[in-house]
Amino acid sequence: MSQFGSQLHGKSRRKLYGNGKLKKKFRDKKRYEMGGFFANTRLGDENKVSKARGRGASDKSRLKYAAFANLLVGSSYKKVKIKSILESKDNRNFARLKIMTKGTVIDTDEGKAVITNRPGREGSINAKLVK
């Protein structure tokens, strides 16, 4: 199993038993424990989506660069340009690095908005205005 370009998820071997012993390895890593890396959606000049293979040969959309967001105005969505990233609840350095995740506050043409979906998983950005 090649580990290049993938990330393995599983239980930690550094956790202790109740008596203070380290856990022992009882089997090899399995292919179904592999996952992907953080999508790292950044602010760009245009929206750029990459495709990733999922289980069962399904396609997943990963948003790499974003310039536009679907903003909820009233009961309909409007496509607006993202000017800048103001703050991020996940990591305070994400705003400086221009990385967008769910809950990130962005500045748009309509005003301040918060991202309501996961752009690294869905391939687009949905947002709602902040009052």
DSSP 16-82: B-TTSPBPPP-S---GGGEEPPP---EE-SS-EEEEEE-GGG-EEEEEEEESEEEEEETTEEEEEEE
Q: What are the 10-residue block averages of pLDDT along the chain, 131 residues in total? A: 63 74 80 84 96 87 96 95 96 94 96 96 95 81
The predicted model scores a pTM of 0.79
For residue 4, the model assigns a pLDDT of: 54
For residue 90, the model assigns a pLDDT of: 92
Around Cβ 41, how many Cβ atoms within 10 Å?
A: 26
For residue 1, the model assigns a pLDDT of: 44
Q: Are 101 and 114 in contact (CB under 8 A)?
A: no
Q: Are 52 and 44 in contact (CB under 8 A)?
A: no
What is residue 103's DSSP assignment? T
Rounded Cα distance between 128 and 113, Å, is 5
Task: Determine whether domain 42-129 maps to CATH 3.10.290.70.
Answer: yes
